[in-house]
Structure 1
Amino acid sequence: MGQLCYSDFELVKETETDGFIYGEITDHFYFENGDACISGDGFVQAPDGSRAGIIWGLEKEPSISVCIEPEEDRWGVYEIGFIKPIKTMDDLIVNFRAVLPLIKEAYQNAHSTK
């Protein structure tokens, strides 16, 4: 395997939960239209260091769906439903932890099909 997927982007250490960490691609503190961030791109790093892409928006309940199936260099790209707009680091952490059970399931599914 070559360079780590999404290696040009930073992990947000504050989000680390059960070994999973959110990584930022688009700035979640850039409020394009209003006083909160309501969509963006990121990635998640699993405890084993492998990564998957995330495209997120707002939903009433945490949600996940596959956009790109697992590939050699990442365990997929997923559309994620965060439950609240992001204004602070705490908002990002709440959102990440709310969808984490779904992310863990996607991770398990991706690794069981290899």
Structure 2
Amino acid sequence: MPPKALELGLACFCLPLCSHQFGKKLFFRRFLLELFPVQRSWLWAAFGGLATAAAFAAFHYSYMYPSTFVLLGVLGLIFAWVRIRSGTLWAPILLHAVAAVTGLLLNLLR
């Protein structure tokens, strides 16, 4: 089995069962982002980042406010940029965890 097919299968299995941080990052930042040759040029990196950010925002369809989708799209773009620049999944996983905790804390404070 090719490594990408194995990773896609793992992402599809991990997404509902494992921590959503790891499963989503594996799917969006490893499998989907690598469909684009992001290391070739900044244009491919921008296109791949925008495409995966849009998919990331669309994945969160349960939110009802349009502003939430815009925020999720911006966060998805930041996560993609961090993944491309760092070359590792751990940086966007940590950043996503920080964003989730920040959101929870802000929700508790209002």
Choose between structure 1 and 2: higher helix proportion. Answer: 2
Normalised by the length of structure 1, the TM-score is 0.37
Normalised by the length of structure 2, the TM-score is 0.38
Name which one, 1 or 2, has greater alpha-carbon Rg. 2
Choose between structure 1 and 2: higher strand proportion. Answer: 1
